Amino acid sequence: MNDLDIIGNLLLKESNLSDYAISTEEFCIINLMKIIEDDSDSDFYLYKIEYQLISFYEKIKYNSLYSSYVLVIEKILNSYFTNKNVLVLYDLLGKIQDECGFKKKMLDDVIVKRLL
């Protein structure tokens, strides 16, 4: 079983969100994981991650599935980012928050928990 299968199964087991949210989460996570695994040396690495997170947010914002958004970020942070990269991602999330108007408190909690 590869990492994509493991994370997909975790989402299905742990999430009580709608089928739409789960499939959208999985799609976002798979895309993010591909970027992280394949393009981490690329100059466009963070831009690609930013694009994926903004796209995902745009898909769920009308359903107010903020917990789904935070769940995606948390799974990615816990699986693929070192503490140094988490701080870089945090800056990126601040930019995304400015663009999307996302509730930053939820992201702060996720980041702090990851760094502890």
| CA atoms of 116 and 94, how far apart (whole Å) | 20
Distances (CA, A) of 7 to 2, 12, 106: 9, 9, 21
Which residues constitute the domain of residue 36?
3-115
Tens of pLDDT, residues 4-35: 555 555 554 544 444 555 566 666 666 666 66
User: Structurally, how many domains does the chain consist of?
Assistant: 1
Q: How far apart are the first and last CA of the chain?
A: 29
Residue position matching structure tokens 């599935």: 65
Distance CA 67, CA 45 (A): 25
Distance CA 20, CA 23 (A): 5
Per residue in 48-103, pLDDT (tens digit) is 766 776 676 666 666 655 666 666 666 666 665 555 566 666 666 666 666 556 55
pTM: 0.45
